[in-house]
Amino acid sequence: MKVALITGITGQDGSYLAEFLLEKGYEVHGIKRRSSLFNTDRIDHLYQDPHDPNQRLKLHYGDLTDSMNLTRIIQECQPDEIYNLGAMSHVKVSFEMPEYVGNVDGLGTLRILEAVRILGLENKTRIYQASTSELFGGVPENKNERGFYDENSPLYPRSPYGVAKIYGFWITKNYREAYNMFACNGLLFNHESPRRGETFVTRKITRAVAKIALGLQEKVYLGNLEAKRDWGHAKDYVRMMWMILQAEKAEDWVIATGVTTIVRDFVKMAFSEVGIELEFKGVGVDEKAYVTACHHKDFQVAIGKEVLSIDPTYFRPTEVDLLLGDPTKAKEKLGWVPEYDLAGLVKDMMDGDVALMKKDVDLLKAGHEILKQVE
């Protein structure tokens, strides 16, 4: 039985990857940070009883800032594969916590690589480093001749998050070349799902749209509606992570859909899933969105209602306006083809958030009933 170790297992990617590997028959070990609150919602359905001898998912307390702890966990697990998905991954927040993001996202990668080397596991353990499209920085002249960013595009990160990740990218390549380790970077473009963190723009949009449709929220505030992104589904991307470590040769790979969409269009698609049509008026910080039609029988949103405004505090100090990846290498060499298109992704996210927000509506109704009985 193969053994895999996942940092960041409680996150979006970690939870989907754990599911995928368990289905493949792996024993999966995950590292989670100690917290006074439970933060395992995304994997609770996988982690049933730690005393069950047949339980193939095992969790360890750890942190990417603690090299001794990481070394101990790797020594205990003796993993065949390590997937380093743990990170402080919010680009906007990285400007407010630059030292922390450098320690976790940059030096955290080094700590894992060095632990594998010190323990003499160079020939046993394959390592996947979660790199990012933010390394490209959206610099137009660095695209390939087809207008995409690929494995050969120059790197120019434009955030503390991107700068920290570029250290992780290069130290992974360095250990691969210096110690002949099977260590690979996956330069992931934006990937979303119903499990995406609530502060990321796509999930912020789908949660807000669901609440607006159900009458739980008046409108949503966003930043740059002109930003363009290459959005894929996290399920497709974690499958590619696994394929990277099954390849014959350790290399670096771009994981993307090759299709770009502006934030404004994502908003329109999300509202469309609940039968709401929008009209955008105004320019820049004065742009707003209004309801022009509501076709869904279960939702009643007034025509003319303002449902979106711009909040300049969500603008980044250095904005990356366009990120578009070229997945040609992944498709031609590993046969990776995404199963979800953008429409399927938006539908999956909206279905999940509508169902989630309906629970809040049911709770409110139950509360009102209790109040009536008390009165």
Task: Indicate if 161 belongs to the active site.
Answer: yes
Averaged pLDDT for residues 64-88: 97
Task: Indicate if 132 belongs to the active site.
Answer: yes
pLDDT reported for residue 367: 60
Q: How much of the chain is helix, strand and coil, in % rounded to 5?
A: 40, 20, 40
Residues 6+ apart with CB under 8 A from 212: 218, 219, 220, 276, 301, 307
Contacts 24+ apart (CB under 8 A), 119-125: 119/71, 119/74, 119/75, 121/74, 121/78, 122/179, 122/180, 122/181, 124/78, 124/80, 125/74, 125/79, 125/80, 125/81, 125/82, 125/181, 125/182
**Which of 206, 162, 167 is closest to 188 using CA atoms?**
162
In the block, tokens 């990160």 appear at 157
**Which of 319, 261, 264 is closest to 138 using CA atoms?**
319
- Would you say residue 58 has pLDDT above 80? yes
Pairing of strands 81-84, 57-61: unpaired
Alpha-carbon distance of 18 to 21, in angstroms, equals 5
pLDDT reported for residue 296: 83
> Which member of 19, 27, 81, 134 is catalytic?
134
pLDDT reported for residue 360: 74
pLDDT tier, 365 (very low <50, low <70, confident <90, very high otherwise): low
pLDDT tier, 282 (very low <50, low <70, confident <90, very high otherwise): very high
pLDDT reported for residue 65: 96
**Which of 169, 2, 165 is closest to 94 using CA atoms?**
165
- Would you say residue 370 has pLDDT above 70? no
pLDDT reported for residue 40: 81
DSSP character string of 52-111? -TT--EEEEE--TT-HHHHHHHHHHH--SEEEE------HHHHTT-HHHHIIIIIIHHHH
Averaged pLDDT for residues 143-157: 90
pLDDT tier, 89 (very low <50, low <70, confident <90, very high otherwise): confident
pLDDT reported for residue 44: 84
Averaged pLDDT for residues 265-291: 96
Q: What tokens does 311 get?
A: 């909040």
Average pLDDT across the chain, whole number: 92
Task: Indicate if 47 belongs to the active site.
Answer: no
Q: What tokens does 139 get?
A: 């610099």
pTM equals: 0.89
Residues of the chain with pLDDT > 70, as a percent, come to: 93
Task: Pick 101 or 375 by higher pLDDT.
Answer: 101
- Would you say residue 16 has pLDDT above 70? yes
Averaged pLDDT for residues 12-26: 97
Q: How confident is the model over 326-357, as pLDDT tens digits?
A: 999 999 999 999 999 999 999 999 999 999 99
Averaged pLDDT for residues 132-150: 87
Alpha-carbon distance of 305 to 121, in angstroms, equals 60
Q: How confident is the model over 188-242, as pLDDT tens digits?
A: 999 999 999 898 899 999 999 999 999 999 999 999 999 888 999 999 999 999 9
Contact 179, 115 (CB under 8 A): no
Task: Pick 54 or 336 by higher pLDDT.
Answer: 336
**Four-CA torsion 105, 110, 112, 118, nearest 10 degrees:** -170
> Which member of 16, 161, 175, 237 is catalytic?
161
The domains of the chain, with CATH numbers, are 3-188 (3.40.50.720), 204-224+263-320+341-374 (3.90.25.10)
Task: Let me know how long the chain is.
Answer: 375
pLDDT reported for residue 368: 55
pLDDT tier, 127 (very low <50, low <70, confident <90, very high otherwise): very high
pLDDT reported for residue 184: 98
- Would you say residue 164 has pLDDT above 70? yes
- Would you say residue 361 has pLDDT above 80? no
Pairing of strands 3-7, 27-32: parallel
Q: What tokens does 359 get?
A: 């629970």
3-class DSSP state of 306: strand
> Which member of 132, 172, 206, 260 is catalytic?
132
Averaged pLDDT for residues 180-189: 97
